[in-house]
Structure 1
Amino acid sequence: MYVDYLQLADFRSYPTVELPLTAGVTIFVGANGQGKTNLVEAIDYLATLGSHRVSSEAPLVRAGAEKAIVRGRIRAGAEDDRAVQLEVEITPGKANRARLNRSPLPRTKEILGILRTVLFSPEDLAVVKGDPADRRRFLDDLVVTRWPRLAGVRADYDRVLRQRNTLLKSLAGRRGGPPAHGDAATTLDVWDEHLATHGSELLQARLETLAALMPYTATAYADIAPTNNRAHAEYKSGVELPTVDEAGQVDRGALAAALSAAMADRRREEMQRGVSLVGPHRDDVTFSLGELPAKGYASHGESWSYALSLKLGSFALLRADGIEPVLVLDDVFAELDATRRERLARSVVDAEQVLVTAAVGADVPDLLAGQRFLVERGSVTPLAAE
């Protein structure tokens, strides 16, 4: 699949822009701060309903405007003339609205899965060097890209977690300490069950995705930064996890039972502290190179290559799933030496659509020849194709 048309209204720095695109490689060239990343961020937003740069939506709307509109036309493939138009209206403080082929959708999330993207940007270095929340978010985003219905499971888990935490906080605030019996305990039992149900489904998807992802990531790392170090990962949880079987699957019932048992064991502590101490929201992933964890031991170059390899691994995994995502490389090549640039270019040149941003056009290897745009002072101007 690929995007062949993008239209923005009051999105980020753009009052308005209309952009014809093609399959293959498209490169946006321009100095920093000119709006290159805003363009690819908009395309990624159509796929994920989120930004890789900010957690709130207010910065996505141009200063002084009430709302932003992102509209894109998606084609099934270079040899398939079918196309759909996606549109999202972003209004901070209100519910966003989505349209499919100009028809309103009951829920914005119904557009998820129509366009799939894999985006790598400098912010992704946090997946390797940042906090556990960064690694959980990376894995959950990939899970939803693979199986869009998991967006609902993810939202349900977050909702149950908030409700359960509210109850625990109310119990912790009672004079004389939290009771462990009566109506409160019964209500907590109900939330425990819901948390185990939704948590086990999310946890199953994470474990199966991580197991499937890492062989592709290891290959990508060896191709980009060939060393004696092998990239591998281990999922860290507060509950005893069943193993991933030879088919790459995990028993969800066993996961639910493990979560329930752990919540029962730590109930008194949770009630004392007023917070949920068990569940996927507390988990982490250890990404390692050789015998050492990448966080704290890998150099900046190794961490950058690892983060990039995780995204290239994600791209390869989705293709193995039968999905052809749009690959976005935002300000990647400036951080790589000439050899690694060429290796990266060789690994992505056969993608259906690759969108690249670069401050210096010469940083992008000649192998990634294609459509080019100059982004300067809010305007996007076509350049001669190379």
Structure 2
Amino acid sequence: MFVRELHLRDFRSWRSVDLDLAPGPTVFTGRNGFGKTNLLEALFYLSTLRSHRVSSDGPLVHAGSASASVIATVENDGRELTADLRINAEGANKAAINQSPARRPRDLLGILRTVLFAPEDLSLVRGDPSDRRRFVDELVAQRGPRLAAARADYDRVLRQRSALLKTAAAALRRGGDQADSVISTLDVWDGQLADLGGQVVSARLSVLAELEPHFTGSYASIAPHSRPAVLRYRPAGGAEIEERTPEAIADVLALRLSELRDKEIERGLCLVGPHRDDIDIVLGNDIAKGFASHGESWSLALALRLGSVELTRAEGVEPVIMLDDVFAELDAKRRAQLVDFTADAEQLLITAAVAEDIPARIGGRRIGVDVVDDDEGRRSHIVDEVGAEARGIDHDEDDHDDHGEDHGGDDAAVAGEATDE
């Protein structure tokens, strides 16, 4: 699998960029804040419908614009698909596949499979449970729209139920019809939350079970003298999961919701469900968070990403591997291991603030990212391998259906105006 073309309009720092890409390594270099990461973020968003840096879509849209556009043409085993996503600053996003409107943005999931290594990966080990939940949910989402739908529906029900819990205590104190209405409505939300939560947790457990041997093996190769590392799913609210089917997990969640109802009403919070679960990264007999050294934490984070690549390959898909300025964060040994691991990648996209951080063994194309700051504002642009500015595209000429501008052989077309990264 590889991305052949990438077109962005009003995405983050890129008011307009058109890139011709190819299999093999491509390295984007430029100073911090010039917009390199935004290129990888756009592809990652297209593959997961999530950003790895922010939790909402608003920051992805260029200031002053109503929406951003991300279009990528992906080739996989001779089959070519173009995924088109319009990210709206307000309201629902829109999607198309090969220029035909999709029913929902999540219909794009599965067209592009990516694994992104980034400095933020350290939070997978040292950060909050939400970081680890997001990591697993991204793996689940890339398997297709159906699994992503369960999480989206769960989040919708969770918002509704949480809103009801905030007002439930006062309504119950008033008694009468209001109290009866709250209890009956809560019963409905509990049933839906348990059913959808069972699907979400079951999908997570399935992915983790398949990921764990790849993660354990990757960590052993990175840190051969360290203790073994494993993954363990930890449900919230004291739930004990023995059977991993959605139905069995839904029964467990329903029971815990019933047991904790009074406490939830008192606190106005939903205390049980996949939105509060955690994934323990266990090193030896200890949970890595708060225990692992800095070097061990980086090795564990790297093993999670390497394991993700192997998991995707085991499914018969070669993912696009993206390395966002990670070589600057790794010591010489881990750099060498990462180079060895990615040597056979069908497509490898790398960013680096300092070109010298890229190991010499990585060949491929080098593309410079720069900015211009003048009366029209700060705008990013791409330069060719020798530093000369490539051909620019006027933002007023964006509305081409086929994006078929002549890119001049191996030169990248440029983006025009942008804010900085």
TM-score (normalised: structure 2):
0.84
- Deviation of 1:259 (Å): 1.0
After superposition, where does 1:24-103 map in structure 2 within 5 Å? 24-77=24-77, 80=78, 82-103=79-100
The 1:83–1:175 alpha-carbon spacing in structure 2 relative to 1, beyond 3 Å, is closer
* Corresponding letter in the other structure for 2:40: V
- Deviation of 1:107 (Å): 2.0
Structure 1 position 122 matched with structure 2 position 119:
yes
Which of 309, 318, 324 in structure 2 is aligned with 1:324? Answer: 318
- Deviation of 1:261 (Å): 1.3
- Deviation of 1:147 (Å): 3.8
* Corresponding letter in the other structure for 1:107: R
The 1:200–1:113 alpha-carbon spacing in structure 2 relative to 1, beyond 3 Å, is same
* Corresponding letter in the other structure for 2:332: A
* Corresponding letter in the other structure for 1:284: D
- Deviation of 1:175 (Å): 6.4
- Deviation of 1:62 (Å): 2.2
The SS at the match of 2:289 is coil
The 1:66–1:184 alpha-carbon spacing in structure 2 relative to 1, beyond 3 Å, is closer
Structure 1 position 380 matched with structure 2 position 370:
no
- Deviation of 1:44 (Å): 1.2
The SS at the match of 2:225 is coil
- Deviation of 1:260 (Å): 1.3
Question: 2:175 and 2:28 mapped to 1: Cα distance?
Answer: 58
Contact 1:224 1:344 survives alignment (8 Å):
no
* Corresponding letter in the other structure for 1:369: G
After superposition, where does 1:292-311 map in structure 2 within 5 Å? 292-311=286-305
Of all paired residues, the percent bearing the same amino acid is: 50
* Corresponding letter in the other structure for 1:337: D
* Corresponding letter in the other structure for 1:288: V
Question: 2:151 and 2:93 mapped to 1: Cα distance?
Answer: 19
Contact 1:29 1:359 survives alignment (8 Å):
yes
* Corresponding letter in the other structure for 2:123: A
Contact 2:6 2:19 survives alignment (8 Å):
yes
- Deviation of 1:183 (Å): 3.9
After superposition, where does 1:1-40 map in structure 2 within 5 Å? 1-40=1-40
Of the structure 1 ranges 147-156 and 375-384, higher mean CA displacement relative to structure 2 is found in 375-384
Structure 1 position 291 matched with structure 2 position 285:
yes
Question: 1:95 and 1:190 mapped to 2: Cα distance?
Answer: 26
Question: 2:56 and 2:298 mapped to 1: Cα distance?
Answer: 26
Question: 1:178 and 1:150 mapped to 2: Cα distance?
Answer: 40
Question: 2:180 and 2:18 mapped to 1: Cα distance?
Answer: 62
Question: 1:39 and 1:139 mapped to 2: Cα distance?
Answer: 23
* Corresponding letter in the other structure for 2:206: E
After superposition, where does 1:358-377 map in structure 2 within 5 Å? 358-377=352-371
Of the structure 1 ranges 182-191 and 318-327, higher mean CA displacement relative to structure 2 is found in 182-191
Instruction: Give the aligned CA root-mean-square deviation in angstroms.
Output: 2.1
Question: 2:64 and 2:184 mapped to 1: Cα distance?
Answer: 50
Aligned to 2:102: 105
Map Cα deviations across residues 38-79 of structure 1 (whole Å, 9 max, x no partner). Answer: 1111111221222111122222222333322211111114xx
- Deviation of 1:119 (Å): 1.0
Question: 1:189 and 1:9 mapped to 2: Cα distance?
Answer: 46
The SS at the match of 2:384 is strand
After superposition, where does 1:143-162 map in structure 2 within 5 Å? 143-162=140-159
The 1:187–1:347 alpha-carbon spacing in structure 2 relative to 1, beyond 3 Å, is same
Question: 1:120 and 1:358 mapped to 2: Cα distance?
Answer: 12
Of the structure 1 ranges 368-377 and 194-203, higher mean CA displacement relative to structure 2 is found in 368-377
Which of 219, 222, 225 in structure 2 is aligned with 1:224? Answer: 222
Contact 1:37 1:330 survives alignment (8 Å):
yes
- Deviation of 1:255 (Å): 1.1
Aligned to 2:399: none
After superposition, where does 1:181-192 map in structure 2 within 5 Å? 182-192=180-190
Map Cα deviations across residues 168-187 of structure 1 (whole Å, 9 max, x no partner). Answer: 22221236388997443232
Structure 2: unaligned runs, 5 residues or longer: 372-379, 387-409, 411-421
Contact 1:239 1:259 survives alignment (8 Å):
no
The SS at the match of 2:233 is strand
Which of 328, 332, 335 in structure 2 is aligned with 1:341? Answer: 335
Aligned pairs, number? 377
Contact 1:216 1:317 survives alignment (8 Å):
yes
The SS at the match of 1:380 is strand
Contact 1:242 1:251 survives alignment (8 Å):
no
Aligned to 1:241: 240
The SS at the match of 1:173 is helix
Contact 1:200 1:255 survives alignment (8 Å):
yes
The SS at the match of 2:205 is helix
* Corresponding letter in the other structure for 1:381: V
Of the structure 1 ranges 131-140 and 98-107, higher mean CA displacement relative to structure 2 is found in 98-107
* Corresponding letter in the other structure for 1:229: R
The SS at the match of 1:174 is helix
Structure 1: unaligned runs, 5 residues or longer: 245-249
The 1:76–1:261 alpha-carbon spacing in structure 2 relative to 1, beyond 3 Å, is same
* Corresponding letter in the other structure for 1:382: D
* Corresponding letter in the other structure for 1:2: F
Aligned to 2:260: 266
Aligned to 1:209: 207
- Deviation of 1:128 (Å): 1.0
Question: 1:370 and 1:204 mapped to 2: Cα distance?
Answer: 41
Structure 1 position 278 matched with structure 2 position 272:
yes
Question: 1:251 and 1:295 mapped to 2: Cα distance?
Answer: 29
* Corresponding letter in the other structure for 1:172: A
Spell out structure 1 runs of 4+ moving beyond 6 A.
177-181
TM-score (normalised: structure 1):
0.91
